Chains A and B, each alone.
Chain A
Amino acid sequence: DGGITQSPKYLFRKEGQNVTLSCEQNLNHDAMYWYRQDPGQGLRLIYYSQIVNDFQKGDIAEGYSVSREKKESFPLTVTSAQKNPTAFYLCASSITGAGNGYTFGSGTRLTVV
């Protein structure tokens, strides 16, 4: 079955640590996205990529970094510069171009301990 997989499901980070969230898709989608969701809130865009080796900042990119070395993979690193990283992180993918819905992963819940 085609889909998008996020791992791990739960992640705990100590203060000052960098952590990397994995996102893999086998849908042959060109575009991939990372969103952050805080409790009771909507989704805010962190980074997006429309093609391999290219990515763009979203609305809240500070303290985060990404790479897009393979079409299937779009990992997100939450750096120590992100002062409030506790949140639910969602990865999505889509066919490039207007008029296409997103397919979402099941999310990673990151908690700072």
Chain B
Amino acid sequence: SQQGEEDPQALSIQEGENATMNCSYKTSINNLQWYRQNSGRGLVHLILIRSNEREKHSGRLRVTLDTSKKSSSLLITASRAADTASYFCATDGIQGAQKLVFGQGTRLTINP
């Protein structure tokens, strides 16, 4: 079951600009997580936001969560060429064991 849907599917911006990616989900969650994947590699955990939190920062990353709209956004400020990757949101539902359900991802390209 694919819980998260991400928007846009692909995003191309100039270096130095901000990049915003959105994620929508369907069921109640314990937390929502964002991951990054470089081409052909494993995923790297970026940030986790709990259901009772509205905003969280980590370096150049800012994540927001709106549980009433069942949506989240990831903002990367002052983008760099090295930020080029795919970004996935993943939700941890409230029922049963922790098992993340991933969205389809946003492919981000930073042009130098």
Contact = CB atoms under 8 A, between A and B. Distances in A.
Interface in A32-84: 33, 35, 41-45, 48, 50, 56, 58-59
A59 B1 contact: yes
B42 A97 contact: no
B33 to A, nearest CB: 6
A26 interface: no
A82 to B, nearest CB: 19
Nearest to A109: B40
B42 A43 contact: no
A53 to B, nearest CB: 15
B66 to A, nearest CB: 19
Contacts, number: 67
Nearest to A98: B30
B98 A42 contact: no
B45 A101 contact: yes
Given A48-B99, A97-B98, A104 B88 contact: no
Most buried by A among B40, B43, B97, B104: B43
Contacts of A94: 98
B44 interface: yes
Interface string B18-51: 0000000000001101010000111111001010
B88 A43 contact: yes
A45 B99 contact: yes
Interface of B: 1-2, 4, 30-31, 33, 35, 40-45, 48, 50, 88, 92, 97-105
27 contacts: A6-B42, A42-B4, A42-B103, A42-B105, A43-B43, A43-B88, A44-B2, A44-B102, A45-B99, A45-B101, A90-B42, A90-B43, A94-B98, A96-B98, A98-B31, A98-B92, A99-B30, A99-B48, A101-B33, A101-B45, A101-B48, A103-B45, A104-B35, A104-B42, A106-B41, A106-B42, A107-B40
